[in-house]
Amino acid sequence: EIVMTQSPATLSVSPGERATLSCRASQSVSSNLAWYQQKPGQAPRLLIYGASTRATGIPARFSGSGSGTEFTLTISSLQSEDFAVYYCQQYNNWPLWTFGQGTKVEIK
Amino acid sequence: EVQLVQSGAEVKKPGESLKISCKGSGYSFTSYWIGWVRQMPGKGLEWMGIIYPGDSDTRYSPSFQGQVTISADKSISTAYLQWSSLKASDTAMYYCARRGPVTPIDYWGQGTLVTVSS
């Protein structure tokens, strides 16, 4: 099983600041990496797939980068609605997809 | 409009059986894989397994193999997740999700909360 490790566990950021979230895979997942946002009481929402492609309707302030084992999600200027938990997911190892443990982005 | 609508919350006792559902609409149900994701209280997302309703090809994550059964009835566009004997540790929110044509997951159900308590 591919283990996905996200850091940090919690990120405290002020509105308008940049947030950088990391995700590391225990072995290469190529570019088969997705990012999801989850708000309390809601299902997750796809933000990024293919490591860097924004999903439909996702604002340009969200960007993804990386390949192989190291990935980054950047939120360029945090808005109030962006405070949430973010998960990475590898889908390279079909059908044994795995999620990271999540990074909570909270208001500083 | 693509929708995945899950069955309502359940409260069960340890040892009881349970089957929850996920009904797809707005697309060809038999043409897309449907997966299940567990989220225990206050915890992260865990991939459980996935089914292709067209031919019922089913794959499980090793952690869930033998613990749950995933099935589908394509005649009513519905996927299922079932337990034969629930444990308190099965208490969680369960989401169904559709594998997209180019994305890993493009649509999610609203979730079904399962509470197992004596």
Mean pLDDT in residue range A12-34: 96
Of A5, A53, A88, A97, which to mutate for an interface test with B (greatest number of B Cβ within 10 Å)? A97
Name which of A49, A105, A57 is nearest A80 in CA terms.
A105
Contacts of A45 in chain B (CB under 8 A): 108
Residue B52 is predicted with a pLDDT of: 97
Average pLDDT over residues A102-108: 94
How far is residue A10's CA from residue A21's CA, in Å, rounded to a whole number?
10
Mean pLDDT of chain B: 97
Q: How many CB atoms lie within 10 A of CB B74?
A: 16
Closest CA to B117 of B39, B41, B6: B41
The two tokens of residue B5 are 């609508």
What's the pLDDT tens digit per position in A27-36?
999 999 999 9
Interface check A91 vs B, CB under 8 A: yes
pLDDT, tens digit, for every residue of A61-84?
A: 999 999 999 999 999 999 999 999
**Band of residue A57 on the pLDDT scale cut at 50, 70, 90:** very high
CA distances to A14, A59, A77, B3, B104 from A83, in Å: 10, 14, 12, 26, 23
Within 8 A of B95 by CB-CB distance, chain A residues are 43-44
Q: Which two tokens stand for residue B3?
A: 């929708």
**pLDDT 10s digits, B31-80:** 999 999 999 999 999 999 999 999 999 999 999 999 999 999 999 999 99
Identify the band that residue B92 occupies on the pLDDT scale cut at 50, 70 and 90.
very high
Query: Does residue A108 have a pLDDT over 90?
Result: no
